[in-house]
């Protein structure tokens, strides 16, 4: 075997070094789930006495956690499939439809879109609780959401131009 082939085999095999990162992200997903359930269990005893605004803020907090969990799953599965190896499924456990459709470009767009939505939900939660927020904090949250949204738009446009050629 030539030295070039050996180097290429080592480099190609190196993709497996990212697998512990994906496994650690499963731990992160577990932490998010435990935190979600904890927040829900903590709120249930007081649910009858909270105001509508407090209920909206609580709901947005749980939606934020759910979107974050979805983002972690998306990164784990599509990252593994794009960078390590294709995932084999049997007939009893069919592959989610989105997995075969997300390439690296699509993953970037989905990540940015998810981060934009998470930021927007957080911003809405802050506006609902505006009495406890500073103008500076609200301003920077708005700037971040707009920046992610603009970046998503630019990436989507560049991908569209790239795929037309």
The per-residue pLDDT for range 46-90, each reduced to its tens digit, is: 988 998 888 988 998 899 999 999 989 988 988 888 888 887 777
Cβ–Cβ < 8 Å for 125, 57: yes
For residue 99, the model assigns a pLDDT of 65
Distances (CA, A) of 102 to 63, 67, 69: 23, 18, 18
pLDDT band at 155 (very low <50, low <70, confident <90, very high): confident
Distance CA 11, CA 24 (A): 23
Distance CA 98, CA 89 (A): 14
Cβ–Cβ < 8 Å for 30, 37: no
Distance CA 92, CA 164 (A): 38
**Residue-wise pLDDT tens digits, 80-133:** 888 888 877 777 777 776 666 677 777 778 888 888 888 888 888 888 888 888
DSSP conformation letters of 49-86:
G--HHHHHHHHHHHHHHHHHHHHHHHHHHHHHHHHT-P
Distance CA 64, CA 122 (A): 7
What are the two backbone dihedrals, phi and then psi, of residue 86, each rounded to the nearest 5 degrees?
-65, 145
């Amino acid at each position: 075997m030539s030295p070039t082939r050996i180097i290429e085999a080592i480099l190609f095999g190196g993709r497996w070094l990212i697998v512990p990162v994906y496994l650690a992200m499963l731990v992160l997903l577990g932490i998010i789930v435990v935190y979600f359930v904890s927040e829900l269990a903590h709120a249930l005893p007081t649910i009858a006495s909270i105001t509508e605004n407090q209920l909206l803020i609580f709901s947005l907090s749980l939606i934020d956690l759910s979107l974050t969990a979805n983002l972690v799953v998306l990164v784990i599965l599509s990252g593994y499939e794009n960078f390590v190896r294709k995932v084999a499924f049997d007939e009893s456990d069919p592959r989610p439809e989105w997995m075969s459709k997300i390439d690296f470009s699509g993953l970037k767009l989905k990540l940015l879109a998810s981060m934009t939505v998470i930021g927007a939900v957080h911003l809405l939660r802050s506006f609902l609780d505006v009495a406890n927020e500073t103008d500076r904090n609200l301003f920077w949250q708005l700037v971040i959401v707009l920046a992610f949204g603009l970046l998503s738009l630019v990436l989507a446009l560049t991908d569209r131009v790239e795929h037309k050629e």
